[in-house]
Chain A
Amino acid sequence: MHLADLFVALRHQLDRDPKETERAALCLEFAPDDAGGVLRRLMALLEADDGADALKSWVDTSGEGRPLDRCVLAAQAIDQWFALLASRFLTQSALSDGHLRARQWYKRHGRFNGDVAEGQLILRPGLFDRSVNIREVTPLRESFDVADLFHTLLLLPPTLAAECPHGEEGERPVSLAFHRIAEVADQCPSDPDWAPIVGVVPLALAEDDLALRTFAKDGADWYAAVPGDLGARAVSAIDALAAEGAALIVFPEVTAGPATLGAIQAAVRRHAVDGPIRYVLVGVRQDGEGDAKPRSTAVLLDRTGAEIVRQTKLHCWDLDADQCRSYDVRGPDGRLLDAAKEFIAPGDGVTIVELPNMGRLAVMICEDLGREKPAAWLCRAKLLDWIVTPVMDAGLTEERWQAQAGDESSRAGSCRVVVANSMAFSHRFNRVCDADGEEDKRITDCGVALFFQPRADPAQKSRIRRLSLPIDAPEPGWVAARWEPQNWPELNTEGCP
């Protein structure tokens, strides 16, 4: 049995009885020197060729402590054995044959364990955390999570729970996959001083750039966001952001159709050789086949414009009466709707990618960021370097839900968060304000990007950078900032809705 497979088996035993596992963990925390003594003996077992068998035999037959205590200690010994592979700093001695084989398997398969049906056993720290491991210096969480017993390894389950669409009762499973992307890299995201420039292109600058089409179907009112052909504007923004030195460019939710995406890919490709752009994330409306609903997707492109991965939005944004009124959502007959469901087919999976030029990244489209499942699980696992969130909403401020959700995700996940928005909904909002004579509520300085840097110290506040464009003169049609959170203001989330 390989060590990784033994770890997975032990994890399953611990997961079956979290209360008893918590008791075992508390005992070890109460007597850390005793734990250290046992672990030193177990690590010596693992240095032998038959280490996994010897460790399993100790768990099964030794009379030390309770059986679950031995499971915790054995799993922690394995976790510690893998630690050499998760540090940015080179060890003083050569890796063992076993470590080399484990690294080879991980790079080939994106997991250490053999059977993917059991999930993917991966290195827990993202690239940044391999040089600055914040998790081990932050106070323990109040709630116990078995995963927190392990600092090197994380077992990604094959599926996570997501909410059912349109307020239906219950949950549905969505797949979870981790992919290491192999490509030639010239950035160094594991360097703590690496500070990339991130650009955001709102693209839909006017209300008509992102049309809201409404219709009745199956006894309900629906809306669908349909982007115009904004390829030329997108190309111009990419050219400008390349000149600014942007390494990552984000286009908001459903601002591109297939033609615009094609234009973006061609523009990125033109800058591939000499330009700074390494990745572009584009919010794309993808038509369904036949009568199928469209999908709200985010397409991640590499420096040549080739598609790396495509994430589909998991949760629908169904509008209530207040939202329909705020954004003037009317039916085909001109009637102001009291509810409108988002006409999209929700996705059935989450993909985490590890990018050599950026680190470990997950895309959470709009609603997906604020939902408890599966976003909160991904954040609690503290395995990401970046969350990127394209949204379709009114202007971003430091008081609205995106700020709260972004801050929570950044803090809980110890990761950087980028939120990117278009401007079409802000124009709708302003139109309603004008009609109601509430000019004081008009959005003038339209927030199109929020960048969050997690706080390392729980007593401190997160750092946030808000980037905006004047709504009536949104030139140049893009924003960008270098990731230098030491120069950003602190976020005050008190009073967030």
Chain B
Amino acid sequence: MSGEAYRALADDVLDAVAAGRWDEADADLDTLAEEVALCLVQDRAADLAALAREIARCHTALALREDCRPEAMHRLGQLRAIAALVAAGRANRPARSEAALTQAEAPTAAVLRALAAGAKSGPALVEATGLSHDAVARALPELRAAGLVRSWPAGRLVMNERTGSAG
């Protein structure tokens, strides 16, 4: 999908609301919501980013018109709800597949290899893998979300161990 198509769709919502063509506005909002749902399901990050820009732009334009007709406010609220879905989809990512996380050169794979000998804290993983602090700090949350690493606090440390799922 191209950014131009999203821009045109958002502009059509704006025009329909400005002209009070509520059926057309609702139809376009439906189309927008369906496209968002598709992007989320298909994990199309770039398209989600483009949609986020257009929805925020459209919402801002409508908000600045200060059109207080209940019908306009209703569509403004719908746009906000769609924007919240897009933002949640962009802020919360699925972990990559186990195959991707265990590819030999991936930092996540290095962390898993280091944990093969037993549980380790974050600083111990940095030392054992030779990776940067940043790389280990990025790897651990994703490995946990993928179910490959289990963590628990021990005093101020966070200990990490491989789960049974980590082959």
**Complexed CA–CA distance, A31 and B154 (Å):** 8
Which has the most chain A C-beta neighbours within 10 Å: B55, B59, B137, B155? Answer: B155
Indicate whether A90 reaches chain B with its CB closer than 8 angstroms: yes
Q: Which of A160-168, A203-211, A213-221, A269-277 contacts B (4 or more CB under 8 A)?
A: A269-277
Interface size bracket, B side: 35 or more
Residues B87 and A151 in contact, CB atoms below 8 Å apart = no
Indicate whether B52 reaches chain A with its CB closer than 8 angstroms: yes
How many A-B contacts are there with CB distance less than 8 Å? 151
* CB 8 Å contact bits of A148-169 with B (1 = contact, 0 = none): 1111000000000000000000
Neighbour of A35 across the interface among B56, B132, B142, B153, CB < 8 A: B153
**Complexed CA–CA distance, A133 and B56 (Å):** 29
With a CB–CB cut-off of 8 A, which chain B residues contact A39? 152-153
* CB 8 Å contact bits of B32-69 with A (1 = contact, 0 = none): 00000000000000000100110111011101100000
Indicate whether B140 reaches chain A with its CB closer than 8 angstroms: yes
29 contacts between A and B (CB under 8 A): A25-B155, A26-B155, A28-B154, A28-B155, A29-B154, A29-B156, A32-B157, A39-B153, A72-B155, A88-B91, A88-B92, A90-B145, A92-B146, A127-B91, A132-B134, A134-B134, A134-B137, A137-B123, A137-B133, A137-B136, A137-B140, A150-B153, A151-B158, A184-B59, A186-B57, A188-B49, A188-B91, A273-B61, A456-B133
Indicate whether B147 reaches chain A with its CB closer than 8 angstroms: yes
**Complexed CA–CA distance, A31 and B139 (Å):** 25
With a CB–CB cut-off of 8 A, which chain B residues contact A139? 123
- Chain A's nearest CB lies how many Å from the CB of B155? 4
Besides the known contacts A35-B154, A92-B147, A137-B126, 13 further A-B residue pairs in the complex with CB atoms under 8 A apart: A28-B155, A32-B152, A32-B157, A39-B152, A89-B145, A133-B141, A134-B134, A149-B156, A184-B55, A186-B52, A188-B52, A188-B91, A269-B64
Size of interface on A: residues with Cβ below 8 Å to B: 54
The majority secondary structure among interface residues of chain A is loop
> Which residue numbers of B lie inside 8 Å of A, CB to CB?
49, 52-53, 55-57, 59-61, 63-64, 79-80, 83-84, 87, 90-95, 119, 121-123, 125-126, 132-134, 136-138, 140-142, 144-147, 152-159
* CB 8 Å contact bits of A14-50 with B (1 = contact, 0 = none): 0000000000111111011101100110000000000
